Chains A and B, each alone.
Chain A
């Protein structure tokens, strides 16, 4: 018989490398003779949206029309390091570096002329008045290694919070788990780009489904046995329900316009919420992921 269950899980997760590890981002902002403004920043965007985020932060800070602002990225001969696109750190850390660079450039622009109407003219005024047309921005996260004896320290800052509700259906004759519904709520501070953020949140849930009920690496003497999609199973469109994503925008004072990291935390509550939902449905606790049919069925048999 198919039985339904609902499960919840909540998490908090620190943005950035943490534990006092040097976590720095740099950006350069330059106004050019042709009136364009170039932001040089080492943000790599592999689908996480960092490029759009940096562009938005730059435009907002400079207060100029978006056509005039261009991001140059991923060329180490032209820009400084902004660290990895990892640890959910680009929006917060590199966003802060872009904010810093653009605030400085904006200040210089205002020094040249209170009222900015034409950026080409403004550039000339800046050069005549010997005001810097190219400025550097920098951000360093302030975390501190935890003293394992005293438990004191500041391992991460800031923290992202998330909670999910998952509805499952478990077939108690086959052990198969179907995910029927997921609601994902995240507090990543100010959401800079709602479309991209929802994409991250929903994609994270799909990864969480894989982690909870499908994905497993089999290693034999250091060799991975299931190296392809025929035996390392990830969710398809039929395994993932329509996921609803909501945000609680609790503004983070140290973040660029109040933003925090979002990339990784979004997938963490999914698996525990699914495991809780399985318990709600058929009364068994799975402690060893993934909760594949065989494990669930065996647990049901042992529980009977």
Chain B
């Protein structure tokens, strides 16, 4: 057992863990944040996407021990109480969510993309979420949702 400390959604968590524990299990089983989903467990589907030090990772492929000291954002860290993140609002408005299983990962990939490039073109959006498989939506409304989110974020920044 080894001791690790991770900052998840702004809170510090220290746990003694098995060195083989994956980051997704740390998040879901140790911290009990169930928003992060496991689809394939082998880095193919993106359902387990979280943001680690500003970049998206597949949390099924990262050992929790190797994330020691890292700053992690999961889907639970996006909204501010009942106040949803503009990406979440946009996805709901446009009807981008069906079963919802891919959505936490999809939203975090979108956030990482827009944090880096708020003016992403449609091709860049499609590239940015291409690591997140969705069986339900056909992606069209998700891409529309990202575009609406871009507008919302830009408008809110202009308002500042």
Give chain A's interface residue range (CB within 8 Å of chain B). Answer: 20 to 34
- The residue in chain B whose Cβ has the minimal distance to the Cβ of A234 is B133
Say yes or no: B139 contacts A240, CB within 8 Å. yes
A residues in contact with B130, CB < 8 Å: 236-238
> Which A34-68 residues have a C-beta within 8 angstroms of B?
46-49
Say yes or no: B40 contacts A199, CB within 8 Å. no
Say yes or no: A203 contacts B136, CB within 8 Å. yes
Say yes or no: B126 contacts A47, CB within 8 Å. no
Say yes or no: B133 contacts A236, CB within 8 Å. yes
- Residues 196-222 of A, flagged 1 when their CB comes within 8 A of B and 0 if not, give 101100111111000000000000000
Q: Is A287 an interface residue (CB 8 A)?
A: no
Complexed CA–CA distance, A42 and B151 (Å): 39
Q: Is A302 an interface residue (CB 8 A)?
A: no
* 16 more A-B residue pairs beyond the given contacts A203-B135, A207-B138, A229-B133, with a C-beta to C-beta distance below 8 A: A49-B98, A196-B95, A199-B136, A199-B137, A203-B138, A228-B40, A230-B44, A234-B135, A236-B130, A236-B139, A237-B125, A237-B127, A237-B132, A237-B142, A238-B130, A240-B138
- The residue in chain B whose Cβ has the minimal distance to the Cβ of A231 is B44
Q: Is A304 an interface residue (CB 8 A)?
A: no
- Chain A contact residues, CB within 8 Å of chain B: 46-49, 195-196, 198-199, 202-207, 228-230, 234-238, 240, 242-243
Complexed CA–CA distance, A243 and B139 (Å): 9
Complexed CA–CA distance, A242 and B98 (Å): 17
Say yes or no: B137 contacts A202, CB within 8 Å. yes
- Residues 79-100 of B, flagged 1 when their CB comes within 8 A of A and 0 if not, give 0000000000000001101111
A residues in contact with B136, CB < 8 Å: 47, 199, 203
B residues in contact with A237, CB < 8 Å: 125-127, 129-130, 132, 134, 139, 142-143
Count of chain B residues near A, Cβ 8 A: 29
Q: Contacts A229-B45, A229-B133, A237-B130 given: A195-B95 contact, CB under 8 Å?
A: yes
Say yes or no: A202 contacts B140, CB within 8 Å. yes
Complexed CA–CA distance, A236 and B126 (Å): 9
Q: Is the interface of A mostly helix, strand, loop or mixed?
A: loop
- The residue in chain B whose Cβ has the minimal distance to the Cβ of A202 is B138
> Which B101-152 residues have a C-beta within 8 angstroms of A?
125-127, 129-143
- Chain B contact residues, CB within 8 Å of chain A: 39-40, 42, 44-45, 94-95, 97-100, 125-127, 129-143
Q: Contacts A228-B42, A228-B44, A234-B133 given: A47-B98 contact, CB under 8 Å?
A: yes
Q: Shortest 4 CB-CB distances between A and B: which pairs?
A: A47-B99, A206-B138, A47-B98, A229-B44
Instruction: Report how many A-B pairs have Cβ atoms within 8 Å.
Output: 75
Q: Contacts A198-B141, A202-B137, A236-B130 given: A46-B99 contact, CB under 8 Å?
A: yes
Say yes or no: B137 contacts A203, CB within 8 Å. yes
B residues in contact with A230, CB < 8 Å: 40, 42, 44
Q: Contacts A195-B95, A229-B44, A230-B44 given: A238-B137 contact, CB under 8 Å?
A: no
A residues in contact with B127, CB < 8 Å: 237-238
B residues in contact with A46, CB < 8 Å: 99
Of the A-B pairs whose beta carbons lie under 8 Å apart in the complex, a sample of 16, sorted by A's number, is A47-B97, A195-B95, A199-B95, A199-B98, A199-B136, A199-B141, A203-B137, A205-B138, A206-B134, A229-B39, A229-B40, A229-B44, A234-B133, A237-B125, A237-B139, A237-B142
Complexed CA–CA distance, A196 and B94 (Å): 10
Residue among A198, A237, A243 with most chain B CB within 10 A: A237
Say yes or no: A48 contacts B98, CB within 8 Å. yes
Complexed CA–CA distance, A48 and B130 (Å): 23
B residues in contact with A238, CB < 8 Å: 126-127, 130
